């Protein structure tokens, strides 16, 4: 039985939720060799470069999980709305950080993703969590918000 579009998206979300430094070598199962991955901090082209990116990204992560709230797929385009819960020893004193975001995925016929773009507030994830810089950014945001 051929996988439906929903099956492809569900399998992708399930894998991504288990992604850690021990399984980045399995990314090739979910991404095409010429994948383009974009998030607010990076643009990565090619599955080998993506594996290196995730390997480096997860190297010092204590824990990371995604709670997928909504998922929609039409033809080869999918959107997944999520909350990422991340624990990293150098961010926010090693406390868990939660950041809301959305992924836009483009699938190819074999069920793999050829384009993955994440949208999230990079400040809420990173800049506001760094010693020194975080306090400055929080004060600027508070001033702007009135």
Distance CA 106, CA 78 (A): 6
CATH architecture of structural domain 5-121: Roll (3.10)
**Residue 112: how many other CB atoms lie within 10 Å:** 18
Alpha-carbon 92 to chain mean position: 19
Give yes or no for residue 4 having a pLDDT over 90.
Answer: no
Per the prediction, the chain carries an average pLDDT of: 84
Give yes or no for residue 43 having a pLDDT over 50.
Answer: yes
End-to-end CA distance of the chain: 57
- Tell me the whole-structure pTM to 2 decimals: 0.81
Calculate the CA dihedral of residues 17, 24, 89, 135 and round it to 10 degrees: -70
Least confident residue range of 8-12, 18-22, 77-81, 129-133: 129-133
- Res 135: pLDDT: 53
Average of pLDDT values for 52-58? 88
Alpha-carbon 120 to chain mean position: 9
pLDDT digits (tens, 9 = 90+) for 105-120: 999 999 999 999 999 9
Q: Are strands 43-45 and 97-107 parallel, antiparallel or unpaired?
A: unpaired
Judge contact between 88 and 94, C-beta under 8 A: yes
What is the band of 87 on the pLDDT scale with cuts at 50, 70, 90?
A: confident
- Res 73: pLDDT: 94
Domain ranges of the chain: 5-121
**Local structure of 37: helix, strand or coil:** strand
What is the band of 80 on the pLDDT scale with cuts at 50, 70, 90?
A: very high
């Amino acid at each position: 039985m051929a996988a439906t579009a929903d099956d492809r998206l569900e399998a992708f979300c399930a894998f991504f939720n288990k992604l850690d430094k021990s399984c980045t070598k399995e990314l090739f199962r979910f991404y095409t060799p010429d994948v383009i991955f974009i998030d607010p901090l990076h643009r990565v082209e090619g599955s080998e470069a993506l594996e290196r990116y995730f390997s480096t990204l997860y190297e010092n992560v204590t824990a990371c999980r995604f709670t997928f709230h909504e998922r929609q797929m039409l033809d080869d385009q999918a959107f997944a709305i999520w909350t990422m819960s991340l624990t990293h020893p150098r961010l926010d004193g090693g406390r868990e950080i939660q950041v809301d975001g959305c992924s836009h995925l483009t699938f190819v016929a074999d069920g793999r993703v050829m384009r993955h773009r994440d949208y999230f507030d990079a400040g809420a994830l990173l800049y506001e969590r760094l010693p020194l810089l975080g306090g400055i950014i929080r004060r600027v945001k508070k001033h702007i918000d009135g």
